[in-house]
Structure 1
Amino acid sequence: MATDHTENPDPTDNVTEDPEKQEDQGPPKEEAAPEGNNFLELYEESLRTIQEGEVVRGEIVQIDKEYVLVDIGYKSEGQIPIHEFQDENGNITAKVGEKVDVLLERKEDEEGIIILSKEKAAKIKVWDQIREIYERDGTIKGVIKSRVKGGLSVDVGLPAFLPGSQVDLRPVRDMDSLVGTEHEFKIVKYNKRRGNIVLSRRAILEA
């Protein structure tokens, strides 16, 4: 009689390992925190929203003999020459804590200094005002500063020209008498690229 040589299966071959008995893998690994350089890159990226040639609002934080330091929310304060804050008598008009509109001329010069300008920011704002008044046919106030060839020079935030024929309804014999007086004017034409603004007082008197 033939002998059965079939081997009995090993009872441990198909045993499923209890998950609870699996080797402890330890707590999940935490993601590595950004390194210092990454933080710096993120910080600098947030500062790139301020572009050169842009007018921004800042706060005066320091005043010395040569410069006024203004905080515009950039990585360091910007400098403005002190003469931009002097009035006609040479008095300093800047005050620490005062808010001012400034033009970001350069983010950093050769020495790593941020260069700002209060005067250029003011001029940009005046040009915007000139355009807006001209388009809606409005008027602008100005002070007659001096007599020039063919008419008068008027300060409307920028130098403007008032032709002699546009001073009054009738010819004015003594135009020097108008120097220092303030009036309302119509903007006849302007050219920002050339820096020309032509005014008329007569147009208002005729209305």
Structure 2
Amino acid sequence: MENLNAIKPLQDFNWDEFEQGEVFGTGSRQEQEAAYESTLSKVKNQEVVVGTVTSINKREVTVNIGFKSEGTISASEFRYNPELQVGDKVEVFIESQEDKKGQLVLSHRQARIARSWDRINEALEKDEVVRGYVKS
């Protein structure tokens, strides 16, 4: 356990301001907000980004893309990948930055579709043959 006797109080800390709720001066608060904002990723709706899986349960997969909140994706979107584990990197499509609960709305299925179209367009530009099958 930490030695509490070794902790020294801040000499310039103003307890009166703290008790009145004025913890930061205006310049200091702006600096804190700027520092916080710089740690967040800038994301746009309808964009495909790479995120890290932070938790998995039977119903959903939680993914961190470096935004202020994590997003959840239905576990059914990962049925093709039963080996998915916490810490894996996955591509996700940002449907919306916030829902009613303030959470990111993400889709792995939409990201896969978007990337597939990118590959098809790239093959068209290079005049390559694309192999596939018709699904009814």
Shift of 1:39: 2.5
Unaligned runs of 5+ in 2: 1-24
Aligned-partner Cα distance in 1 for 2:127–2:26: 62
In structure 1, the residue matched to 2:36 is 43
Aligned positions of 1:1-207 closer than 5 A: 33-35=27-29, 39-40=32-33, 43-44=36-37, 47=40, 49-87=42-80, 92-142=82-132, 144=133, 153=134
Identity of aligned residues (%): 36
Whichever residue aligns with residue 82 of structure 1, its letter is A
How many residue pairs are counted as aligned between the two chains?
112
CA deviations on 1:84-131 (whole Å, 9 max, x unpaired) are 0113xxx74421111101011111101111111111001111111111
Aligned-partner Cα distance in 1 for 2:95–2:35: 23
Whichever residue aligns with residue 103 of structure 2, its letter is I
Which structure has more relative contact order (CA 8 Å, sep 6+)? It is 2
Q: Which has the larger radius of gyration?
A: 1
Shift of 1:140: 1.9
- Relative to the length of structure 1, the TM-score reads 0.48
Shift of 1:43: 2.9
Identify, as 1 or 2, the structure richer in strand. 1
- Relative to the length of structure 2, the TM-score reads 0.70
Superposition RMSD in Å:
2.5
Unaligned runs of 5+ in 1: 1-30, 145-152, 160-207
